[in-house]
Amino acid sequence: MNGILPLLAVTAGVTAANLYYAQPLLADMARAFDATPGAIGLVTTAAQLGFATGLLLVTPLADSYDRRRLILGAATAGMLALIGVGLAPTLPVLLIASYLLGILTITPQLCVPYAAALADDRTRGRSVGLVVSGLLVGILLSRTVSGALGSRFGWRAPFLVAAAATAVLIVVLARLLQPQLPPRRVPYRELLRSLPKIVANLPPLRRHAVLGAFAFAAFSVFWTTLPFRLAAPPLHYGSEVAGLFGLLGVAGAFAAQLAGRLTDRYGSRWVNGGGIAVVAISYAVLAAAGHTLLGLGLGIVLLDFGVQGNHVSNQTRILGLDDSLRNRLNTIYMVAFFLGGAVGSAVGSWSWSRWGWAGVTACGGAFGVAGVIAFGLLPGAAQSRPLVTSESIS
């Protein structure tokens, strides 16, 4: 298991990056296609909506089929979609290709349940935390690499380089990853029909899905608008600097591992609440000092730390609810998570176009505060119904 977990972490990082290469390049894309910030912001919204679609329609299959084969298939399809984005000739084609890339970038959410299945209850938080840390490092480095390549070779280069890197990863996975079969085969129609029943019967799942959605909405508001904030007065920086800011979010990778260990030791509730509170606090910092590089940097550290702490505690909790439903539980949670991200991207672009940085920080902060309120109001584990069995669900 020790050798597989790092491989899963790398896989999650390399493939999760696909959804974020565009963020530092939005200003460059807008110039290339002569598009407004609101229109070009739909590139990230399309990718996140696509990802939610892929999660809903594809990832439940891992509760019925070999996860190794699904991971390899998803990675291969994602590689082809990256090529499509990198070669898109017009904005409408780019939006369609971004949506397809989102649908096909589901590999990380196959890796997390794979890792959880390798662990027992005492170590599940650490296993999930390690893979999520790899996922986060991939996201952060994607912005840095994308900004650097984009500033030198144009906005298309990062997507084509990522396709080549994914091809190498596929070869390694095919050699090292072992099959992981579910307890029993469930027909695809039953997998999809079971999702509403799972939501209805598991209040803890509903609670953590809402918290994750609010946190990721706040996260996406910031990262979608950062290139425009950096390009505007008084900063006047380009895509390379926007990408370099991603390195500051490495704090979030440490937060993911720390949150996993704290969740194993103390339970998820207070790790969860603390994370969403830090998200709200980060926007107070960004509102007060977001006109300076130092203020932006501090806000990024707090935002990434809070989002990832909240996210790991959410996933650790839901993945322990029922082993036989693990991928469907993760599907429901991640669909809500990325729908929140898609809303955050759209709201962030719209707020920047209408009200500038003040509107961005107000909207992002509102998502964080809404998460804090939801944490206080939504029922927790002590108020949950008895866990539903896989037989009654599927």
Instruction: Give pLDDT tens digits for 144-194.
Output: 889 889 989 999 999 999 999 999 999 999 998 988 887 778 888 888 899
Position 91: which residue type? L
- Based on the number of CB atoms within 10 Å of its own CB, is 122 exposed (0-12), middle (13-18) or buried (19 or more)? exposed
Q: What is the pLDDT of residue 115?
A: 84
- Average pLDDT, integer, range 255-261: 70
Instruction: Please state the pTM of the whole predicted model.
Output: 0.74
Residue spans of alpha helices (H) in 177-202: 188-201
Which amino acid is it at 349? S
- Predicted local distance difference test score (pLDDT) of residue 394: 47
The angle subtended at Cα 48 by Cα 224 and Cα 253, nearest 5°, is: 70
Q: What is the pLDDT of residue 383?
A: 39
